Structure 1
Amino acid sequence: MEGHVEAFRALGGVPTRHIRYDNLKPAVRQVCTGRNRVESERWTTFRSHYGFDAFYCIPGEEGAHEKGGVEQEGGRFRRAHLVPVPDVPSLEELNGRLAIIDEAEDERILRGKLTSIGFNFLIESEELAPLPSEDFECGLTLKVDRTSRISVRQCHYSVPARFIGERVRVLLRGNELLVFERRNVVARHPRLTQRYGYRDVLDHYLEILLVKPGAMAGSTALAAARAEGTFTAVHEAFWASALKTHGDAAGTRVLIEVLLLHRRMPADAVLAGIKAAIKAGSISPDVVAIEARKAESTTLIPEPEDDENDPPPWADIPGGQLLSLPARRAELPQDNRPPPSVDVYDQLLTRLPKGSA
């Protein structure tokens, strides 16, 4: 369905006649006689949203001619542009390359034609129906297991621990996976391409590790953070100092409190705060937070650049004078009133206690 949404967006409209299908499983629950099909409820909702009709080809050799040259064109495209197989680190980069190839294909002229593919499509695009005001929501609703993960297409992705046992909405895209709480994105992962793979984020497990700090050292989330570079050498140095001062459990809790600062402050500011705390010989999370706020404010409001001709702050500036405030007491009017009498208070010293003779 996401492929349809992306295709309609790329075309700039929806085909008005019909779209041919080879009885794809997500759409067809049962193949009946002729062209009758029992469609899935979700597919029917999708077609109704975009307002197009489906033309289902007859299975087998009888309906082979109804597919046109789709499979042949797919083979030509693969041989022309995907041989050898591209070596890319992510699906996002692969899709970026395919987009460039697709733009170049618009300039190609088919055999026996006088105009390019892009020119022909420009004329045919007038026959497309307009896109709806909103895209169809292709997300699914899944339950978070006790390991704070969800399973999508035999791959496992972590979500914040507060959602354990609850159901969250998942949007699986070609390049990434998004997890929603209502309309808010609570987790974002690059899509895994191998079955039974795991994608864990350390921040999703901090509340659990705060209660069970002993599981921190051997957790898969920590190993993933180290591999990605989000758990840096600065964090390692702070953790080592915390363990040396407070012990294993308490020292790990101090580290987790510092890691929680990343949720509300930029990573660069937190790292600067950790470095400043280590330099000052402190491993207090409060000190890290204060120094991180200083670093954040310095980044937001940069100081003016010093003139190269200005002397350094520690240099003695000749001709400097010490200024003092003028004494203004002499300007006040003199008070000639007599001092107040304390005779009334002296009577309290001679008063006998209550009940005495």
Structure 2
Amino acid sequence: MSKVELYAAIRRDHRAGMSMRALERKYGVTYRTVRKAVNSAWPEPRKKLPPRATALDPYKFVIDQMLQADLDAPRKQRHTITRIFHRLVEENGAEDISYQMVRRYVADRKPEILATSGKAPVEAFVPQSHQPAMEAEVDFGDVKVWLAGELVTCYLFSFRLSYSGKAVHRVFASCGQEAFFEGHVHALQTLGGVPRTKVRYDNLKSAVAQVLGLSRARVETDRWIAFRSHFGIESFYCRPGIEGAHEKGGVEGQIGYFRRNHFTPVPEVGSLAELNELVEQWDLHDGRRRIGARPRTIDEYFAVEQPLLAPLPDKPFETGRLFTPRVDRYSQITVRTNRYSVPVRLIGKKVRVMLHASHLVVYDQNVEVARHERLIAKCGIRLELDHYLEALVRKPGAFPGATALEQARSAGRFTPVHDAWWAAARKVHGERDGTRALIEVLLLGRHIAHEHLVAGLATALRAGALTADTVALEARKAAQTEEEPTTVPAPRAPHPTGQPSATITSLHEWRLAHLPPDTRPLPSVTPYDQLLRRHRTSGSTHREGEAQ
């Protein structure tokens, strides 16, 4: 039995009339223990033993001096435990101490020094209550992602309703203003409304141009003011620094929870679109959990809150940012330190670029001429091989070393079938003409689907027909075969090399086989002969009149 139970049993028997000596014999304890149990129902607490001497005792005064000096030092230039340990070893010759000894002592002593100095204010957290559909919190958090085989840093946008805890997340390549706006639009559309009072923010550059002193007054950016006005959002800015993080602790904790539970281990995806599809599924899953000791789930609270949200505006808001760069001689434009290709016919002209969080669109006048996935790293280059084909037709020698060709290979657009057809064409037609024939084939890709063009290249290569016309014909045949159900053809004889045999039909034979016969009558020149006779007759009559 425990000591408390022992005391209770002794007291019970003592009240029943059992003597002190009998209690000693019954419970096998000393007279002093029996006397203590009779006098008090609670055992006395165990006396704390005096601390044992350690090898760190001679250096505790030195550590205290370092911690005292840190009270007036800049926040980012104070002693860490590692620095204290190294100074003790290097400056005081403390060879017989360990890092763990220093760590334990600093962990106990540092709060005591802060308390006695009067420089450590007492942090008190006041519980808050939130009304449905009234408040929300917004923040960004960075996450690591394996994107197309490369470990990159992306940014997790989080919009959290304060009452229900319902949160909507979105991953972007950057945390700029475009991502800030697109995250809001996605979250508000997912939630189906807008909070009716304030939304809490920290001092993001996307929204705040200048912080005015210690007050909550801010100079906001023009586009953010227009965006808030469009959706009817009332902004509330937290205090700068770490102190302000407690004013929107809900979204701070939400980002940490989401990162720990869904981004651990680091996800591997092929694109941000694929990752955001997973994020939407994770948001739905998290709606079924309960926060802390709440009696109901997030979705149950959100069902009460959602009908009370303010309605969304009818008109959309353009979240992209407009740029007007000039196309350089390399047929490229520069947007936010990165370079993107456009068609070569636009060299020297100014174009309009609408930059979004994950992609950008290039316009010439009002016509879209290029679309690129946005680069994540700085000073990157993204080129499209199709943009350079008109120039490469005139300069086929520049094709093998073109950067656009290298990127097309990496992206899988320039396949091994292209390379094999190109090698065979150069062998038959020569370096220049064979390369030009391949470029003509690539130009067909503007009107023929990529998979059909690759099928046409493969068929033409097997048959040894190395012209762009043949590839176009076979690509169209592949497209028709895919669109129209046909009967299964009889098996062909195997190719001598082991590859399946291929037959190439000439364009004339293909027209005879696929086009309806021409039943129109052949043209006749009989009406023209009649006109000529009339002209001769009228001419002879005129001469006779003159003779008369």
Deviation by residue 1:131-168 (Cα, 9 ceiling, x = unmatched): 22233112233325323334444433333333333222
Letter of the 1:112 counterpart? A
Hey, what's the Cα distance between the residues in 2 that align with 1:274 and 1:80? 48
- Where does residue 205 of structure 1 map in the other structure? 388
Q: Provide the rounded CA distance (Å) in 2 between the counterparts of 1:49 and 1:182.
A: 27
Query: Are the aligned partners of 1:139 and 1:169 in contact in 2 as well (CA < 8 Å)?
Result: no
Which protein is bigger by CA-based radius of gyration?
2
- Whether 2:351 is the aligned partner of 1:167: answer yes
Deviation of 1:89 after TM superposition, in Å, equals 3.4
Please give the root-mean-square deviation of Cα atoms over the aligned residues, in Å.
2.7
| Shift in Å, 1:61 | 6.2
Q: Which deviates further from its counterpart, 269-278 or 115-124?
A: 269-278
1:69 corresponds in structure 2 to: 250
CA contact (8 A) 2:199 2:236 kept: yes
Aligned residues: 307
Answer with 277-286 or 196-205: which moved more.
277-286
Secondary structure of residue in 1 paired with 2:487: coil
Q: Kindly indicate whether residue 267 of structure 2 is the aligned counterpart of residue 83 of structure 1.
A: no
User: How far apart in 1 are the matches of 2:262 and 2:478?
Assistant: 49
Deviation (angstroms), 1:105: 1.0
Q: Distance in 1 between matches of 2:198 and 2:345?
A: 45
2:7 alignment partner in structure 1: none
CA contact (8 A) 2:392 2:399 kept: yes
- Of the structure 1 ranges 209-218 and 289-298, higher mean CA displacement relative to structure 2 is found in 289-298
- Deviation string 1:174-196 (CA, Å, 9 cap, x unpaired) is 4x444445665543434433333
1:238, CA displacement in angstroms? 2.3
Alpha-carbon deviation of 1:260?
0.6
Name the structure 1 match of 2:458: 275
1:16 maps to 196
2:229 equivalent to 1:45: no
1:122 maps to 303
Q: SS of 1:234's equivalent?
A: helix
* 1:236 has 2:419 as partner: yes
What letter is aligned with 2:275?
L
Give the direction of change, closer, same or farther, for the CA distance of 1:180–1:129 in structure 2 (3 Å limit). Answer: farther
Matched, 1:137 2:318: yes
More displaced 10-residue stretch of structure 1: 72-81 or 40-49: 72-81
Change (3 A) 1:61 1:87: closer
- Aligned equivalents of 2:451, 2:262: Cα separation in 1: 41
Question: What is aligned with 2:216?
Answer: 35
CA contact (8 A) 2:344 2:390 kept: yes
Aligned residues of 1:46 and 1:136 also touching (Cα < 8 A): yes
- Counterpart Cα distance in 2 of 1:166 and 1:17: 43
CA distance in 2, matches of 1:280, 1:74: 59
How far, CA to CA, are the matches of 2:191 and 2:365 in structure 1? 30
> Normalising by the residue count of structure 2, what TM-score does the alignment of the two structures yield?
0.51
Q: Which residue of 2 aligns with 1:3?
A: 183
4-13 vs 286-295, greater mean Cα deviation: 286-295
- Which residues in structure 2 correspond to 1:187-202 (within 5 Å)? 187-202=370-385
Aligned in 2, Cα 1:130/1:238: closer, same or farther, shift over 3 Å?
same
Q: Which has the higher contact order (CA 8 A, sep 6+)?
A: 1
The answer (yes or no) to whether the contact 2:344–2:387 under 8 Å persists in 1 is yes
- Go from structure 1 to structure 2 and tell me whether the alpha carbon gap of 1:279 and 1:54 turns closer, same or farther (over 3 Å shift): same
Work out which of the residue numbers 235, 238, 246 in structure 2 matches 1:54.
Answer: 235
Change (3 A) 1:98 1:62: closer
Question: What fraction of aligned residue pairs are identical, expressed as a percent?
Answer: 49
1:29-66 Cα shifts (integer Å, max 9, x gaps): 12225232222111122112212221122324664543
* 2:198–2:233 CA contact under 8 A, matched in 1: yes
Instruction: Give the partner amino acid of 2:317.
Output: F
Equivalent residue of 1:169, what SS? strand
Question: Which digits, 9 at most, give the CA deviation of each residue in 1:68-91, with x for residues without a partner?
Answer: 432233223322332333233332
SS in 1 for 2:318: coil
Counterpart of 2:264, as a letter, is V
Change (3 A) 1:103 1:184: farther
Q: CA deviation at 1:216?
A: 0.7
Contact 2:290 2:298 (8 Å CA) reproduced? yes
1:179-190 correspondence runs (5 A)? 179-181=362-364, 185-190=368-373
Indicate conservation of the 8 Å contact 2:245/2:252, yes or no.
no
**Does the 8 A contact of 1:5 with 1:135 survive in 2?**
no
1:65–1:253: structure 2 CA closer, same or farther, 3 Å change rule?
same
Q: Deviations over 1:96-128 (max 9, x none)?
A: 222222111111112231111111112111222
Rate the CA distance shift 1:272–1:79 in 2: closer, same or farther, 3 A. Answer: closer
Q: In the aligned structure 1, how far is the partner of 2:423 from the partner of 2:451?
A: 20
**Which runs of no fewer than 5 residues in structure 1 stay unpaired?**
309-357
Q: Which residue of 1 aligns with 2:477?
A: 294
* Counterpart residue number, 2:505: none
CA distance in 1, matches of 2:353, 2:257: 38
Conserved 8 A contact 2:385-2:408: yes
Structure 2 unaligned regions, length at least 5:
1-180, 492-548
Stretch of structure 1 that moved more, 276-285 or 182-191: 182-191
Q: 2:331 matched to which residue of 1?
A: 148
Partner amino acid, structure 2, of 1:206: L
Aligned to 1:263, the other structure's residue is in SS state coil
The 10-residue stretch of structure 1 (204-213 or 61-70) with the greater mean CA deviation from structure 2: 61-70
